[in-house]
Structure 1
């Protein structure tokens, strides 16, 4: 079942959603929630379904942070960072930087007539923007992407019930040293250190980098996998539809704080409750013909790719900005661009194509 959920989860998720929308899956050692309304209920109710549990996979790698804490502790960890990601400030602060970075990256491969766009554009752009947002100096793109490949692999192993190797721990140790060295320079991390202890600053910066790199790279790559169906004039809608059809973060984990009944399932205190954002976003009760890529849908903002409730993604608007400008740049600068081969998406916790191979008419 783990293999099916990793490679082609949609038939299984559709069957569960129709017959057992809160299902106990032994392979996950927890409950899987697959219906849109139930996903909302779980994510909104942090008192009953918490992230604050020592089993939480990301916390086991990077330590406690806004991602793995609730109530007052969550607010204390999130507040020093949140004011820098307000929607009205994102465009003013980042649009020029993102456009310049996209132009620089595309200039590096435009003449070749072909490239693998996930690691030539999406990944390096995500690293550069996170570095700019957090005020990190000397951020080596290849090194940071290698750290996050290792961390993602470890999180996937934990979620699948496998014993992870040491790569994720080693990678986070190197990332931690990089972040601690940046706190001494004036930056967003310096500001955060005025209210949080250094280990707390590092853990929160790590999860912001995690979201800003891993899921943003996946978000851009997933949209580019529909390259031949993209219309520059309708990119905002296409972004939302791509988020709906294939969220870069496929699942979010919660833990029951009390015995609770949910859609006929008797969930015990302490049980793992995993919300499948992938399944919720393909619920036919909400989205007609849910397996079809259709940017013309009237209700795209009901997609749950950025989660919901107190843990709604802090960087959602920045990720949307990066994705829009990256694809605009590709469409504007690479004439006749098309996929060289299908881009197959996979992943248990984080879903994206292994590569987005494209070709165009070189200038």
Structure 2
């Protein structure tokens, strides 16, 4: 049920275009006056308060993802991202288990370091590169391809599939039709082949063949979801972190002087501009949230970007500060039962990539001729990230 006209004036004036381009001024106005606001542009509610965002994401009984309108489910079918309760656990656990911290370090540290070394070595002599396309994207794709174990499927193909999924989800979120049928059909064929290999120890085969094993179609849906988390959001995480450091020279100087600050810089970048900007939930009953009267079935969209700049939690929230003591309280990896289990791997990739860039590319700096900033309604990152360095001194 739509609230009476005039009830949420800031939300009523919000547009998809504004949220795609530069949402932070609008999110600040919403957070200050309408922390739970009705946005006709979404035909739903938008939550911008950190406290209320945590409440929504933590309470799967009151705010569910299990709804046919859920954008990702419309594109790839039911998966760990669009299910709750015991069914969610059944879908999630076979994939989450291999990504726990110790197993992530053991399984991926050498692979990630080797890929980063290869990519940085390839660009170093040129003195310039486009970091999203030349480093962040290829690294993220290579890691996911390695994790999934899709034999005979190259990184270019994996990238084309996930790009189709991302476009479709973004279109649906913006209220436009979204389809990725051909990409999904090709992924499904590759998954069926992978899980049919006798004795295979791949992540996909393990998920299909354990006692509570998933069907081939369920494995396919979850493999597509891993592409969202493992490729698009990680590519954005690396790109955004590089942009924030290079775009704030005084903060970059602090990290160069004390490399131990690199992890803190990554957490602050996640807070400042999360690569996944929103998550969707649906109310399972009538309730009051932040003074708003929500009805059963209403879309309740959580603005991670808005919550991450809540001044009640993060003083001076529009400042990028690598010494911020509580940056890790950000919600960039969501919260509650749908917390991103790939967070450890994403941090490993980002830390390894940034350390190599800062160590091996002297004088690394943004291209002064390019105006670069993050864009996107759901997945936020720079379209391009051109940089220069002093190639004569590269290692």
TM tier, shorter chain?
over 0.9
1:179 to partner: Cα distance: 2.5
Match of 2:381 among 345, 348, 352: 352
1:276-295 aligned at under 5 Å gives the runs 276-295=303-322
Measure the CA separation in 1 of the matches of 2:103 and 2:203.
15
Match of 1:192 among 179, 196, 207: 207
Alignment root-mean-square deviation, CA = 1.2
- Matching residue of 2:354: 327
Measure the CA separation in 2 of the matches of 1:139 and 1:111.
30
User: Residue 298 of structure 1: SS of its match in structure 2?
Assistant: coil
Q: Indicate whether 1:264 and 2:264 are aligned.
A: no
Structure 1 unaligned spans of 5+ = none
Describe the superposition over 1:23-51 as per-residue Cα deviations: whole angstroms up to 9, x where unpaired: 01011010000000000000000000000
Q: Indicate whether 1:140 and 2:154 are aligned.
A: yes
Q: Indicate whether 1:101 and 2:111 are aligned.
A: no
1:209 to partner: Cα distance: 1.9
1:155-174 aligned at under 5 Å gives the runs 155-164=169-178, 166=179, 168-174=180-186
Deviates more, 1:175-184 or 1:308-317: 175-184
- Write out the 4+ residue segments of structure 1 that deviate beyond 4 Å after TM superposition: none
1:315 to partner: Cα distance: 0.2
Deviates more, 1:145-154 or 1:54-63: 145-154
User: Which is higher, the Rg of structure 1 or of structure 2?
Assistant: 2
Deviates more, 1:299-308 or 1:101-110: 101-110
1:1-363 aligned at under 5 Å gives the runs 1-164=15-178, 166=179, 168-185=180-197, 186=200, 187-194=202-209, 195-228=213-246, 229-230=251-252, 231-232=255-256, 233=259, 234-340=261-367, 341-363=370-392
Structure 2 unaligned spans of 5+ = 1-14
1:94 to partner: Cα distance: 1.0
User: Residue 293 of structure 2: SS of its match in structure 1?
Assistant: strand
Describe the superposition over 1:60-106 as per-residue Cα deviations: whole angstroms up to 9, x where unpaired: 11110110000000011111112101112222221111000001111
Measure the CA separation in 2 of the matches of 1:223 and 1:307.
18
Number of residue equivalences: 361
Measure the CA separation in 1 of the matches of 2:353 and 2:41.
38
Measure the CA separation in 2 of the matches of 1:183 and 1:75.
21
Cα contact 1:225–1:342 (8 A) shared by 2: no
Cα contact 1:126–1:213 (8 A) shared by 2: yes
Provide TM-score, normalisation by structure 1. Answer: 0.97
1:361 to partner: Cα distance: 1.3
1:183 to partner: Cα distance: 1.9
Cα contact 1:50–1:257 (8 A) shared by 2: yes
Deviates more, 1:63-72 or 1:108-117: 108-117
Provide TM-score, normalisation by structure 2. Answer: 0.89
